[in-house]
Structure 1
Amino acid sequence: MRAIDWFQSDQGGLGYISLIDQTLLPDALTTLQIRTVDELIECIQRLAVRGAPALGVAGAMGVALAAQNGNTVTARADALRLRVSRPTAVNLAWGVDQALEALERGTQAVLTVALSIRDQDVIGSHAMAKRGYELLADLLPEKMASGLNLLTICNTGALAAVERGTALGVIEEVFLRGNLKNVFACETRPLFQGARLTAWELSNMGAPHQTIVDSAANFLMAQGRVDAVLVGADRITANGDTANKIGTFSLALGAQFAGIPFIVVAPETTIDCETATGDLIDIEDRGTEEVVVINGKVMSPAGTTSVNPAFDVTPARLISAIVTDQRAIRPALNELPSDEVANEMTATFRF
């Protein structure tokens, strides 16, 4: 079952988006039929669908919904509302923009773009898994032979894409090739995407794993119990700074202290060369309730408020490599995400 896909209805020939409601996992595997842009925006904002690659696909398919349900004027307005429904992840806006370019050619043209983005996401996930495995084999040949202990945060598997995923896709490749000893999955507060979703995916693939509280990760790295850290990304800026789930920056610092690779895995479409550095990324704050309420139980005194950034930014100099579906980039060695503007950026950016 794909995390997100498009189906054509028999009723009037209208299509709909089918997606797994990730808020219900691991207790229930439920798929939703999304027929309007408003329904899709609601699913995105409450994280029923999430993950940078999946949001790119959702953005494009959302424009297809808008096109079939209205005209070019209403569809463009709906698409623009969809585009800004989550500000930090660049893939959502990218998917919307790609599909909007076909809007004047009609609904079928928009849908063709959306389905192409879906199919390329599947191809890209397999490419990232292979390239990430090869990078680990190059960086850690002896440990690869004896079995790797890997650490990850949030969820970057098939649930975050159409199939397979990004960082967890690499971990799956390591497992399938017989080189995985253990995965430490950070629980990922406040919504437990690691404890709920990543552990669920690892269990389904039969991979050895343990969940840990987020604050245990750096201690385990310092003890030498982790060989490499693999994470996803929601936006990668021109100089290689990377926005990802809150807590990722801390893992990068821990990996630097422990002297182990810190690897970002994300599709090429996550690279945003129009944003120069991580300081310019709009970081979404999701409010107090997610922090102070757990499974319906209020954990803090009445009136307590929270700072709840959904993402943080890891400076490029802390990143050993960025693995995409097309290449591997080494920001720590002053390699830039965009080779085309490398000379211009080298003169102006801090590394």
Structure 2
Amino acid sequence: MSSDSGLLQSIKYTRGQKFQVLDQLRVPHEHEYRDIKTVADGVDAIRTMQVRGAPLIAMVGCLSIVTDMDGKDFKNAKDFLAYIEVQVQALIDARPTAVNMKREGTRLINFVKQQIVLTEDITELKLRVIEWIEELVKTDLETNKAIGDHGANDIIKRAQAGGNVNVLTHCNTGSLATSGYGTALGVVRSLFQKGKLDHAFCTETRPYNQGSRLTAFELQHDKIPSTLVCDSAVSWLMKSRKIAAVIVGADRVARNGDTANKIGTYQLALVAKAHGVNFYVAAPFSTIDGNTASGESIVIEERSPTEVTHIGGKPICPAGINVWNPAFDVTPAHLITGIVTENGVIEPEQLSKKIDEYNAANL
């Protein structure tokens, strides 16, 4: 199972044979895939950021359960359910800010409970779990393409004079953050494919440089006209160039529309507001957490000081300097023009109603 042949592949999976993830710490200079044979492997790949991006974390987590349970014996269906619950929690704990793993893991647990009512045959239960997870990965790619089209169409509709547009994106939200195509970068791809993109700007996204390492790589791979800018240059960019929209991804969207995303997103939203630039969050509906009322309740992961003090393993700061390294920030809903999902573009004030409608139809 893989994405379209022309897209970069963040995962390689063949049932019963292999599951590999692209080690994104080595991109763009090396393309090395790591074998994932156990949930412990999946947790390590997520925690060390060999894989990152909320949708991809969920895909990798669930597929690691598929490979981990292969060949394992379970006493009974209750034992199998307990195993699934333990593995899901370990994967959620790997990077708690991103909500997709929690949502899909909870759905998987509920699915197993439903299936146990129908059969207690372990072989059959394993097969049904595998099919459920494989369908999840397939749906993710279809979801990304829908997000891309909805976002592109809204940006085009709002563009003044109706010409081609310049856009700015942050971090990496493309094929390397999902099963393929991408969320915010999927919107950029859709604009390009529609012939409506003049230029895409991407931030370097310090301190982990996902923009300079990964997004710039994807843009060049797709031959999309693009320019890399320093994080600290975005204010002057919006002052100097006509930017139609800022498009970012999300690791969690609260019920009120507050959005947790890569550190630096909040300041982009403030700058966009100051310059009258539309600000979009592009994410699958699974990233929206209806149980979190606002951004105040979102746990913000803090990472190692060495990500700030070192580049390529070499120190760039005086030894002993104090470091604060939050991996994410929260953008208030009032700064967001629209949340782009596979179901369309949702204004933040309409989000709570849409969550209830979605849950009534799908849960």
Same fold, judged at TM 0.5 (above): yes
Partner in structure 2 of residue 293 of structure 1:
310
Q: Which residue of 1 aligns with 2:9?
A: 2
- Correspondent of 1:282 among 294, 299, 304: 299
Q: CA RMSD in A?
A: 1.7
Q: Which residue of 2 aligns with 1:335?
A: 350
What is the distance in 1 between the residues matched to 2:285 and 2:84? 27
- For 2:355 and 2:306, locate their aligned partners in 1 and report how far apart those are by CA, in whole Å: 43
Aligned 8 A contact 1:153 1:186 in 2: yes
Task: Give the aligned partner of residue 207 of structure 1.
Answer: 224
Question: Distance in 2 between the 1:257 and 1:222 partners?
Answer: 10
1:250 aligns with 2:263: no
Q: What is the identity percentage for the equivalent residue pairs of Structure 1 and Structure 2?
A: 37
Q: Within the alignment, does 1:185 sit opposite 2:192 as a pair?
A: no
* 1:231 maps to which of 229, 236, 248: 248
Q: State the alpha-carbon separation in 1 of the partners of residues 247 and 45 from structure 2.
A: 27
1:345 paired residue number: none
Runs of 4+ in 1 over 4 A off after TM superposition: none
Structure 1 contact 235–242 (Cα < 8 Å) conserved: yes
2:98 pairs, out of 58, 76, 89, with 89
Determine whether 1:315 maps to 2:332.
yes
Matches of 1:5 and 1:79, distance apart in 2: 21
Amino acid at match of 1:248: T
Aligned counterparts, 1:135-174, within 5 A: 135-142=154-161, 144-145=162-163, 147-174=164-191
Q: Match of 1:336, SS? A: helix
- Please report how far the alpha carbon of residue 46 of structure 1 lies from its aligned counterpart in structure 2 after TM superposition: 1.1
Distance 1:295 1:337 in 2: 43
Is the 2:255–2:289 Cα contact (8 Å) retained in structure 1? yes
What is aligned with 1:49? 51
The equivalent residue for 1:37 is: 39
Q: What SS does the corresponding residue of 1:306 show, helix, strand or coil?
A: coil
Distance across 2 between alignment mates of 1:217 and 1:247: 10
Structure 1 runs not aligned, ≥5 long: 10-14, 343-351
Q: Does 1:117 align with 2:136?
A: yes
Which residue is equivalent to 1:325?
342
The equivalences for 1:266-277 within 5 A come to 266-277=283-294
Structure 2 spans left out of the alignment, 5+ residues = 1-7, 75-79, 116-124, 358-363
Looking at structure 2, the residues matched to 113 and 23 of structure 1 have their Cα atoms a distance apart, in angstroms, of 30
Structure 2 counterpart of 1:89, one-letter code: A
SS in 1 for 2:323: coil
Q: Is the CA contact 1:238–1:271 (under 8 Å) kept in the aligned structure 2?
A: yes
Contact 1:154/1:187 (CA < 8 Å) preserved in 2?
yes
Partner of 1:346 in structure 2? none
Higher mean alpha-carbon deviation, 317-326 vs 66-75, is at: 66-75
CA distance in structure 2 between the aligned counterparts of 1:108 and 1:102, rounded to whole angstroms: 13
Q: Residues 67 and 75 of structure 1 are in contact (CA less than 8 Å); yes or no, is this contact kept in structure 2?
A: no
- Structure 2: distance between partners of 1:305 and 1:236: 31
Letter in 2 for 1:282: V
1:306 Cα deviation after fit: 1.2
Separation in 1, partners of 2:131, 2:233: 46
Partner SS, residue 84 of structure 1:
helix
CA distance in structure 2 between the partners assigned to 1:95 and 1:210 by the alignment: 35
Choose 75-84 or 127-136, whichever is displaced more.
75-84
Alpha-carbon distance, 1:245 to partner: 0.4
Structure 1 segment 19-38 matched on structure 2, within 5 A:
19-38=21-40
Residue 76 of structure 1: how far off its partner (Å): 2.9
Contact kept in structure 1, 2:255 and 2:355, CA below 8 Å: no
Is the alpha carbon distance of 1:65 and 1:94 closer, same or farther for their aligned partners in structure 2, counting shifts above 3 Å? farther
* TM-score under structure 1 length normalisation: 0.90
Cα shift at 1:69: 5.1
Q: 3-state SS of the aligned residue for 1:27? A: coil
CA deviations over 1:272-331 (Å, ceiling 9, x no partner): 000000010000001211110101111111112311111100000000000100121112
